[in-house]
């Protein structure tokens, strides 16, 4: 499956390299995104194009269905946020980036639907 089934935008990579299928956060500049290192400022999920080094361009999907690498075991229907490596983990509360469309285990890549909101 292609990673993209929604709106994809191109940004400059800020800070550490951003792997494919990871959650990103808003950067310091309007046209930049950084690897998410927790559940704050979540902006989207990188496509399957590959790793982007600092200063390079990165494609970020901001809505619709895509693929995400997991940081823990999740079940279909779980609300997901980012771990310290930008992988998807179950959101107990706070910022949510997506819902899992299928179950998976750590480091597995699954289909998700980007749905951003704050979970109480």
pLDDT digits (tens, 9 = 90+) for 54-72: 999 999 999 999 999 999 9
- Write out the residue range of the structural domain in which residue 40 sits: 8-64
Asked if residue 87 is part of any domain, the answer here is yes
Residues 13 and 36 in one domain: yes
pTM for this model (two decimals): 0.95
Residues 90 and 108 in one domain: yes
Asked if residue 1 is part of any domain, the answer here is no
Asked if residue 33 is part of any domain, the answer here is yes
Q: What is the pLDDT of residue 3?
A: 53
Number of compact structural domains in the chain: 2
CB-based burial label for 110 (10 Å; 0-12, 13-18, 19+): buried
Local structure of residue 84 (DSSP, 8 states): T
Q: What is the pLDDT of residue 4?
A: 60
């Amino acid at each position: 499956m292609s990673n993209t089934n929604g709106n994809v935008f191109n940004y400059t990579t800020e800070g550490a390299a951003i792997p494919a299928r990871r959650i990103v956060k808003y950067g310091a500049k309007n046209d930049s995104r950084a690897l998410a290192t927790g559940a704050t400022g979540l902006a989207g999920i990188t496509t399957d194009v590959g790793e982007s080094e600092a200063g390079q361009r990165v494609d970020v999907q901001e809505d619709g269905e895509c693929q995400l690498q997991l940081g823990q075991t999740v079940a279909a229907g779980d609300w997901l946020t980012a771990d310290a490596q930008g992988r998807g983990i179950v959101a107990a509360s706070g910022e949510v980036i997506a819902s899992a469309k299928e179950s998976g285990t750590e480091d597995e890549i699954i289909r998700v639907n980007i749905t951003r909101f704050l979970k109480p």
